[in-house]
Amino acid sequence: GLLDQNQNEVLTSLHKACAPNLRRVTSVSMGQISLLVLATKDLLPHITSVETDSEATGLGGVGINKGAAAVSFSVCNRPICFLNAHLAAHAEKLQERNAQVVEIQRNIKLGKKLASGALDLSNRFEHLVWLGDLNYRVDMPRPEAMEHIATRNFKALLVHDQLRTAIQTREAFGGFREGPIAFAPTFKHVPGKG
């Protein structure tokens, strides 16, 4: 793909177009999963211990179509990690997604020096931010979900949110917090269904 062949060019163009007053700290890619970290010029001297890693969780645990790319660093001696993930798609793949989260948190090698022996990534940093295409779904028949979306009744959807359930049951993302949801979920367009 484009990022595989010209990743540096693409990231440099994005940087120049979107954030010319920021400086590049680092970037990491695994297949089509990329993460670019930028900071203001004033903040750069306070950023230390920059590390990158990735974990493939696709086909056979080696396919780079699924997994995560991660960056960690310290800002004023406070360790932080950003992790961009692409997890298994489709509603019925919930257990696979949850397993991928656990695998990624165990196998990403960032911050090991900071947290003497902590196995789980979430215990190695003051802040760990997950982002990307996590592919968690709303377990609800589509017509019912569309009705709630049309009336902006997002609370009714959240009761059936696979990610929220995984956090509450600690099957994945145990101990994490998700920000307030005040927007409609994204969903696959079905031609002829609106």
pLDDT of residue 7: 65
pLDDT of residue 6: 62
Helix (H) or strand (E) holding 38: strand 33-40
Tokens of 27: 């970037």
Class of domain 2-135: alpha beta
Mean pLDDT of the chain: 87
Q: Which residue in this structure is represented by tokens 């009336």? A: 151
Name the DSSP letter for residue 122.
G
- Greatest alpha-carbon pair distance for the chain in Å reads 56
Domain residue extents for the chain: 2-135, 138-194
- pLDDT tens digits along 78-88: 999 999 999 99
Q: Give me the amino acid identity at 177.
A: R
pTM: 0.85
pLDDT of residue 81: 96
Q: How confident is the model at residue 3 (pLDDT cuts 50, 70, 90)?
A: very low
CA distance to 36, 161, 179, 185, per residue, from 156 (Å): 35, 9, 17, 12
Strand 47-56 relative to strand 33-40, pairing: unpaired
- pLDDT tens digits along 139-177: 999 999 999 999 999 999 999 999 999 999 999 998 898
Whether 16 shows a pLDDT value over 90: the answer reads no
